[in-house]
Amino acid sequence: MSQALADLLGKPKEEVAKWVGNMEARTGFKSQDIRVLADMNLNLRQKISALGLDPDDTTSEELYHALVAKYGNDSELINKALAVDERADFAARQNLAIGLLSHLVPSAHGWSLKNTAAKAIIKNLPPKKVMKVWGYRSVDSLLKREDVAEVVLAAKTSEPTMWQKNFAAASRKVGQADYQLAHVRVLRLKAERDYGDEWCVENGQLAVVALNPAKTQDTPVLSMALLLLKGVERTSLRYEAKPLTKINPALSFWQGAEHLLARAEGPPVSLNINDVSRSHDDGNKFGEHSFAHAADGLFNELANSYEALAAQVSGGAAQLEAQVDKSINPVQDLALEAVEA
């Protein structure tokens, strides 16, 4: 089973076997990975049937193309519901995607560096490459005219790794008064600037996320909203994500499929909407597709399953100890009464 699980997770067999062994030793439960995979396969069969396919006679490639087609249809349905047509430019679609995000995570929040603190750090740590590309000779001029959060997002790509580490270290050294409780902010980045190869960029210290215009110019509104949602997730802000059906009931197919992976021949096929949307938007052929989001989802499903078992074991032990104490106490009381008498 370790080999099958390793293939689905995209990790070495030895690494997966060691992790499963450690979790089994911690909980005392054997073969929980087999139970999780069995449950996954049952859910997978139901999803394949919902696509109008035969779970016993569908190849991985057929499933892949059916999923991409399903996502394309759902994306068009959302466009129609939002009155989006081929004339809608990037800015208009981005605004609609931000609106969808507000339905999915209405209250994402966390501790964020205040602007004054972030500017002070940048002033002592000038992002020289960003300044050069943007045409600024001094850091004071940069901070006067630009959003400090946008500067940090650009530096994430342009500046060396050491700059990133120094900025993070400086952020940790500031006082509590330099932080504030803030809701996530979605930036609208300038299309002519370089923000690297990521489709969505984010910074948890400043509680900001943004779509990369260079990568998402032709991206459907639904895909934009999903990218922003993953960006919020990566910031580690506190939030409770609403189901996709909050956007439209037609998206119910994708609920509960976050960790589903099918594998017969070739690489695993993901039913995670984030993987399928990327395959759809990139026009990936079968075999070139990603299954990283579903692999992460399956790993989390396994980890949560073992954590639940560990909690049961701990809770059961505590309950048994309480029962033992309850049964012993009357005996102790009687013994004390006998001594006192």
Q: What is the pLDDT of residues 328-340, one digit of tens each?
A: 555 555 445 544 5
112 lies in the same domain as 196: yes
Task: Express each pLDDT in 184-231 by its tens digit.
Answer: 999 999 988 989 899 999 999 999 999 999 999 989 999 999 999 999
Q: Is residue 340 part of a domain?
A: no
Give the list of residues 6+ apart from residue 151 with CB closer than 8 angstroms, or none: 122, 127, 130, 142, 143
Pairing of strands 185-187, 208-211: parallel
For residue 41, pLDDT beyond 90: yes
Which distant-in-sequence residues (6+ apart) come within 8 Å of 79 by Cβ? 85, 220, 221, 222
Specify whether 33 is located in the same domain as 104.
Answer: no
Tokens of 221: 């509104």
Tell me the residue type at 301: E
Residue 73 shares a structural domain with residue 200: no
95 in the same domain as 78: no
User: Helices 148-158 and 161-173 meet at what angle, rounded to 10?
Assistant: 140
Residue 18 pLDDT > 50: yes
Considering the domain boundaries, does residue 10 fall inside one? yes
CA distance 294 to 9: 8
Say whether both 213 and 269 belong to one domain: no
Residue 78's alpha-carbon distances to 95, 272, 307, in angstroms, are 14, 18, 37
Q: What are the pLDDT digits (tens) for 98-152? A: 999 998 988 778 889 999 999 999 999 999 999 999 999 999 999 999 999 999 9
- The answer on pLDDT for 82 being more than 70 is yes
In a domain, 288, yes or no: yes
Tell me: pLDDT of 236 over 50: yes
| Mean pLDDT calculated for residue range 271-275 | 97
Q: Would the pLDDT of 61 be above 90?
A: yes
Same domain for 61 and 125, yes or no, is: no
98 within domain boundaries: yes
Whether 57 shows a pLDDT value over 60: the answer reads yes
Q: How far apart are CA 306 and CA 35, in angstroms?
A: 11
- 114 and 239 assigned to the same domain: yes
Q: In terms of domains, do 245 and 263 share one?
A: no
The dihedral formed by the CA atoms of 110, 114, 117 and 121, expressed in degrees to the nearest 10: 60
**Structural domain contains residue 333:** no
* Same domain membership, residue 196 and residue 109: yes
d(CA 24, CA 314): 14
Check: CB of residue 211 under 8 Å from CB of residue 230: no
For residues 144 and 223, what is the distance between their CA atoms, to the nearest angstrom?
Answer: 34
Give alpha helix (H) positions in the chain: 2-9, 13-27, 32-50, 60-81, 90-104, 115-124, 128-134, 139-145, 148-158, 161-173, 213-216, 221-234, 273-282, 292-340
State how many domains the chain has. Answer: 2
| Same-domain check for residues 34 and 156 | no
Which tops the pLDDT comparison, 313 or 97? 97
In a domain, 325, yes or no: no
Domain for residue 330, yes or no? no
The whole-chain average pLDDT of the chain stands at 88
Which residue's structure tokens are 């996954």?
40
For residue 116, tell me if it sits in a domain: yes
Q: Are residues 127 and 191 in the same domain?
A: yes
Domain that holds residue 57: 2-82+256-320
C-beta neighbour count of 161 within 10 angstroms: 7
